[in-house]
Structure 1
Amino acid sequence: MDVRMRVSDGYETRVVERPGRWMKAAELEQLSSDLRLVASKTLRDGSLTYGVFSGDRSRLEHSIITIVYRRSDGRPIAFNALALMEISLAGKPYEVLHLGLVMVDPDERSRGLSWILYGLTCFLMFLRNQLRPIWISNVTQVPAVVGMVAEAFSNVFPGPHAGARRSLTHVLLARQIMARHRHVFGVGPEAGFDEERFVITNAYTGGSDDLKKTFDEAAKHREETFNEFCRKELDYGRGDDVLQIGQMSFQAARTYLADTVPRGSLAALAVAGAAATLQRLILPVVHWADSSRQWNVLRPWTR
């Protein structure tokens, strides 16, 4: 998936799926350069060494990058780097979409970009998955993000919101994520995990060190219950994170369209959604019908 859409008169968004698998070296370096440019504006001091910042092409083979560009000069001003994590449930392979890292140029904040950075890619992947629910995960110590995830997605645990319930599926997913995918969110092997509360203890030792915040520094949610939840459950001096697990479901997608996406952007979102869907549904048929060439595992129709 490589989708572009104009989100307003001033900004354009690009969503790139698994760029490490298909982008040429020069294109991949430009993409990485755009991410580092935004990060340099966001992190005045320090740096990040995990995930898409590691310089490892294999990390970008399992990532979905959403970048917002300023149309006047083409400068990248925000991005969201999501990761696809392979897990197993009931003996079947699944992919969990990790919400990853969001960064916004401080000069461009409060411009109404949250619907792009926190929901657009999940919605497009939900369409690509033929409206089947997608499991998502999120690791954070920021109360505003904890509340956003709880409100935007379905079946989310943990949290102070109504319906937060730790099921066996939540536990199985959390165990596999912590056992096999700590590198995705920059958590070192020495970090602990409280399986009852879904809290990662001493979480900032695996490459994400410069993201550690005090409670006062962390952005607060408009609902005080989420702020109090983080204050109570997390030790900010030690560097704790909460691991949230939920789903992008039909209900969550409907809420996203009705409450989050600006009315003026619905047409552009519809076009982007159609493009993402057609890439999955139509292109394999076109490739399969061409008897002169083979397309990976698709064999052409020759009879």
Structure 2
Amino acid sequence: MIWKILTAPYLDIRFRPSKNIDVRIVERPGLWMDEAEVEQLLAKCQSVVASSLPEPLDYGIFGDDLQARERTIITLISDRESGRPIAFNALPLMDAKLGAEEIQVVHLGLVMVDPNYRSGGLSWILYGLTCLLLFVRQQMRPLWISSVTQVPAVVGMVAETFDSVWPGQETTSAPTFAHGHVAKQIMRDHRHFFGVGMEAGFDDRRFIITNAYTGGSDNLKKSFESAAKHRDEQYNALCEEWLDYERGDDILQVGQLNLATARTYLMRSVPNSALPKLAVQLLVLGVQALLAPTIQWLAANKSLGSLRPAK
């Protein structure tokens, strides 16, 4: 059983961070789950959507594009007592290039929480946990992330959780070449993952997506007054100044998760009660990413991928 977990090509993690909730993280379900299981998983996510919106969503994992189900990680949170889904996120994995290097960008995509549970301290799971697990699995190399939102609270949360986020805490200087290059590739190749139509414009100086709510995400459009505010007024002022809420603008943020921000996330965001169980998951992934490949490599009498033992 342990070896199966260590050698599994995709994440399928279940754990209970507190006595009240259960969490399941499923990576790329469209590649390995059968169709009935995928539909059941998506139905649970749609039940969370139904608790917040008058109409179901029809883009990303909920649309007709099967590729989205093959390139998305779904984190589902359920109430332990009733088993009812109460929150989820859907994080698309997007391919990009920096010079000759191929990178993967984790998009902090669709996040929805049942209104009755929005003050339940779930943000550490929905916004950072899956990224942390991916970071450990890829041997703790810096992980690029992106986020598209018009909600000041989310803009501030992303800026303070991850490293080198632009736009973020610093907006007086221009974005770096790497940030700009990644942002342009996201808008050119992957906008369908977050429900932005091809007619939407993009200000590559400030990373503003203009007229963003035309590609399936129409039901998510908010006014500035109704959007959740951040405790730090600078993010509220940034959104109010840069975004045209009547037209329907979004901010695209690009940043990284690295060792420093992973440590900060563990120390500041994860509740102390959840640390022991999370440590077990991180240990298993660490063994999978670091120890298991070493053991496999040293076993010269066994095949490893395309490598074969000498006769």
Pairwise TM-score range, normalised by the shorter structure: over 0.9
- Code of the residue aligned with 2:87 in structure 1: it is A
Query: In 2 relative to 1, CA 78–137 (structure 1 residues): closer, same or farther, beyond 3 Å?
Result: same
- The structural deviation recorded for 1:276 is 2.4
Could you list the per-position Cα deviations for residues 33-72 of structure 1 after superposition, in whole angstroms to 9, with x for gaps in the alignment?
Answer: 11111111121x1232111111443211111111111111
- Match of residue 11 from structure 1: 21
1:31 to 14, 35, 41: 41
Query: In 2 relative to 1, CA 284–230 (structure 1 residues): closer, same or farther, beyond 3 Å?
Result: same
Give the SS at the match of 1:103: strand
2:31 to 7, 21, 41: 21
- Match of residue 148 from structure 2: 139
2:75 to 52, 58, 66: 66
CA contact (8 A) 2:138 2:289 kept: no
2:212 to 199, 203, 206: 203
- The structural deviation recorded for 1:298 is 4.7
Which residues in structure 2 correspond to 1:173-184 (within 5 Å)? 173-184=182-193
- Show structure 1 runs of 5+ residues with no match: none
- Show structure 2 runs of 5+ residues with no match: 1-10
Identical-residue share of aligned pairs (%): 53
- Match of residue 218 from structure 1: 227
Which residues in structure 2 correspond to 1:285-300 (within 5 Å)? 297-298=305-306
Give the SS at the match of 2:135: helix
After TM superposition, the score normalised by the length of structure 2 is: 0.90
Give the SS at the match of 1:119: helix
- Match of residue 102 from structure 1: 111
RMSD, aligned CA: 2.1
Could you list the per-position Cα deviations for residues 185-221 of structure 1 after superposition, in whole angstroms to 9, with x for gaps in the alignment?
Answer: 1100100001111100000000101000000010000
- Code of the residue aligned with 1:146 in structure 2: it is V
Which residues in structure 2 correspond to 1:36-115 (within 5 Å)? 36-43=46-53, 45-115=54-124
Query: In 2 relative to 1, CA 172–9 (structure 1 residues): closer, same or farther, beyond 3 Å?
Result: same
- Code of the residue aligned with 1:136 in structure 2: it is I
Query: In 2 relative to 1, CA 6–290 (structure 1 residues): closer, same or farther, beyond 3 Å?
Result: farther
CA–CA separation in structure 1 for the residues paired with 2:270 and 2:64:
33
- Match of residue 255 from structure 1: 264
CA contact (8 A) 2:47 2:85 kept: yes
- The structural deviation recorded for 1:77 is 0.9
CA contact (8 A) 1:156 1:164 kept: no
Give the SS at the match of 2:286: helix
CA contact (8 A) 2:209 2:249 kept: yes
